[in-house]
Chains A and B, each alone.
Chain A
Amino acid sequence: MPPEAVEPRSSPTAAPRGAGTSATTIAASATRGWPAWRAPRWVHGRIRNFLGATIALAILVVLLTIAESSFLTAGNLKNLLVTNATLFIVSTGMTYVMISAGFDLSIGAMMAVSEELLYELLKNGVPALAAIVIVLLVGFVVGTLLNGVLIGVFGVNFFVATLGTMTLFYGLVDVVTNGASETITSSTLASFGNGTLWGVPMPVVVVVVTIALGGFILRWTPFGRSIYGTGGNREAARLAGVPDRLVIMSVYGVAGLCGALAGVVDAGRLAAATPTDGSSIALVSGAAVLLGGTSLFGGIGGLSGTVVGVLVIGVLGDGVNLLGVSDFWQNVVTGAVLIGAILLDRLQKRGQVLH
């Protein structure tokens, strides 16, 4: 090995040897001073990535069960899942985007757009099922061609691109609706939001199907694996023949599709198209995905973690509600749990020797 290959990159401001604390001591204390936390041996595989969130969820469930007898009842749990159905669906799309090392701020705006589109289609006599299919297709195509092309082909920063499309989408919705909600009267759509299938609420059925399909694609298809490759190291993936642009475009298509689907579910549940719907869901779902062990830098993560992440946030909200605490506290607690879980994750990474 040529000696130059082992030189550490020296920064011009590195402290000198022998002058007070040396650079090496500082570097050493940065890695050794903090406790490195290791997951116990019996914790296997993927769950290591979201162990913090799993522990948080378990603690929350135990505490709430003790504190509030109505928590662990079928009715409340069903209610919890239905309330968080849109968050589950949106977070599925967000997981795809974040594994590809991106973020989609416009995913909530896509909800508002699709609700509005759904309303217009139904008003003009399009059959409900056809309208739903059209809305989903539009979500996928718009996501691919707008966010996807901007980010994947033109290399626009994902934050800037989706901030732009988010603003654009909400603006368009406001132009069309003048900012007013519209009531949707369609029995098909209503059953989509409030009906049941074999006793299971429809929104929950949609969530299960979405996550199952999304998880399968991510784990069992070359497309899914290519998302991890592109997100983890786009250049390496490209040099291995991965069609990186196509992958990034499709990922934002999936996000658009999930946003549209969440819009359909919400429109069905509330029997209305709300122009401000989804305005905060992008950041909340980002937090859920992060809690679930998917990295902001891409390349790792998965839907099982996202499910846990969403549940943590959902249970928190539900608990705050049951205990009669002000809703505002929910964000405070969510933020604290997010920071704690991610800190735990960092400490665990410290325990590994990386070359």
Chain B
Amino acid sequence: MLEPAGGVQREQPGGRNPQQPVLSLAGIIKEFRGQRVLHGVDFELRCGEVHALAGSNGSGKSTLMKVVYGAHQPSQGTMEVRGAIVRFRSPVHALRAGIAAVPQELPLFSRLSVAENIFFGDLPRRRGVVRWRHVHRRAMDVLAQVDAEHRIDPAREVWQLDLAAQQLVSIARALAHGADIIVFDEPTSSLGTADTERLFAVIAGLRAEGRAVGFISQRLDDILAVADRVSVLRDGRMVGELAVGDATTDGIAALMVGHATTALASRRVAPAGSKVLEVNRLSAGGHLRGLTFSVGAGEVVGLAGLPGSGAEDVLPALLGRRATTGGSVRIRGRDMTHSSLRRRIRAGVAYVSGDRRGEGLVRAQTVAFNLALVLNNRARLVPISHLRQRRKVEEVVSKLRIHPADPAALVATLSGGNQQKVVVGRWLLVEPHLWLLSDPTRGVDVHSRAEIHALVREQVSTGESSALMTSSDTRELLEVCDRLIVIDHGEIVAELDPGETTEHQVLALAGGASSQGGR
């Protein structure tokens, strides 16, 4: 597929009828362990067209795209490429059929050169020996196709490049392998404005060459900027297809959410007491640009924003895990801008993450150990009163109805919901003042989820403490929070009352509706 002369087995992409779908999926059903994620979806890509796929978290859009590029095999349904029915075993198999993916996590070999990455798996050889000079020269040609021959040195190792450049290398790799169907999975989520525009120019170039482009994004303004057509997926079903000329961010957001949603019933207005957290012009590189907000005692505040908007950088910055470049953070009146994570925790910060495996649990240990983790977090040699600790631990186990109610059970044998209760419960032993909740009910069953929400509300309602929360599920923010801050491009773009806000308003605002004229 690499040699333009002699190696071409397919007709030139530009030569086909643009109305003919080059790839079409029909009735695709995908199940994971009996749970249906895609319910019979139809989808097609045409030559010389950018077809976007929109949908909120969990709608199944990533799954659908993974089916397209061979990372998932459909449970039912057919897939045709250029009129022939195909069944891909793997992404490599799909690549041989001309389909390439540029996913969020770029699977490049970071310690190999750009040139080797581009041709990896099919290095030009003569009698089995790699022709390195040839590799580098040809890499330049391919990089020129994505307009990067002056920006990227093919001899560089990939880890030395920034994310935007790595993305271009991924695209170049797809082109070098002869792909004429290219699927982008959330490509703009970690790019700045300038890099995003450059990427769009490259995508426009691919379209002009007659290639078919699939584009998944939650950023509705990006979709409007780059796509010709947009399909909307909701809960594993295709709910609409629009020509971009007719679409607005608001219209797409409404389709993503469904028309049935209305503003949730207004909750009691929490009396915002003394300020527990004051954030003043907080900046962190290009990710956060001068955020100013505060959280009062007795209040649950939500942070909404798409991946890459900066919303997910706020909690790490408040914890002291992420370096900040300006501004100040005050917790209960004390300046903690430059304090260590441990100091902040001593000052009453509790951090609950939905990433139980990575950030939550010591999986090799018991429930009791994990609950007592915060209590025992000092490197002291003073003896512990195991008896008193066991009593406290048992209190939490029964209060949170952790099942099984056995503190000696290995935490890894619990269900996801009960594991998450352990992550939340450990902080009850120290009575924190500021709960930082990062997607606190990810992968948690409905019942435990409601219990965790109730617990947070109960903790906050004492009037002593408050909570700041992010979630990949906008509905959760609307249900739980008293106030919602929407972040885009590292700035606060709106502050909403969840009682008077619908999910699609939040999605539209987060997806760039407020900056629609900007791009």
Q: Show the binding face of A for B, using Cβ within 8 Å.
A: 1-8, 10, 12-19, 45, 216-217, 220-223, 225-226, 228-229, 232-233, 235-243, 246-247, 250, 295, 297-300, 352-355
Contacts and interface: CB of A to CB of B under 8 A. Distances in A.
Contact of B381 (A16, A217, A241): A217
Interface of B: 32-33, 35-37, 57-58, 60, 62-63, 66, 70-73, 75, 87-92, 107, 235-236, 319, 341-342, 345-346, 351, 353, 358-365, 369, 372-374, 376-384, 386, 408, 410, 412-416, 419, 426, 442-446, 472-473
Q: Secondary structure at chain A's binding surface: helix, strand, loop or mixed?
A: loop
Nearest to B427: A240
A297 B364 contact: yes
Contacts of B71: 10, 12
Contact of A2 (B58, B75, B91, B410): B58
A353 B410 CA distance: 10
Contacts of A243: 342, 377-379
Contacts, number: 169
A216 B410 CA distance: 22
A355 B419 contact: yes
A236 B35 contact: no
19 contacts: A2-B473, A3-B37, A4-B57, A7-B32, A8-B33, A17-B73, A217-B381, A221-B380, A221-B381, A225-B384, A226-B377, A229-B365, A232-B363, A238-B341, A239-B353, A240-B374, A241-B346, A295-B364, A352-B413
Given A12-B71, A222-B380, A355 B37 contact: no
A220 B384 contact: yes
A334 B357 CA distance: 35
Given A3-B236, A223-B381, A241 B35 contact: no
A220 B410 CA distance: 20
Contacts of A225: 369, 372-373, 376, 384
A167 to B, nearest CB: 26
Given A4-B57, A233-B363, A243-B378, A12 B91 contact: yes
A300 B364 contact: yes
A221 B32 CA distance: 45
The 5 lowest CB-CB distance pairs between A and B, nearest first, are A2-B58, A232-B362, A299-B364, A241-B345, A241-B377
Nearest to B345: A241
A239 B351 contact: yes
Given A4-B60, A10-B72, A220-B383, 13 more contacts: A1-B444, A1-B446, A4-B62, A5-B58, A5-B442, A12-B107, A220-B386, A222-B379, A229-B377, A240-B377, A241-B342, A243-B379, A352-B412
B359 A235 contact: yes
B373 A229 contact: yes
Contacts of A216: 383
A17 B353 CA distance: 35
A236 B369 CA distance: 12
A299 to B, nearest CB: 4
A222 B378 contact: yes
A259 B360 CA distance: 34
Contacts of A242: 373, 377
Contacts of B345: 240-241
Given A3-B236, A221-B381, A235 B473 contact: no
Contacts of B91: 12
Contacts of B384: 220-222, 225
A243 to B, nearest CB: 5
Given A217-B381, A233-B361, A297-B364, A5 B373 contact: no
A239 B437 CA distance: 12
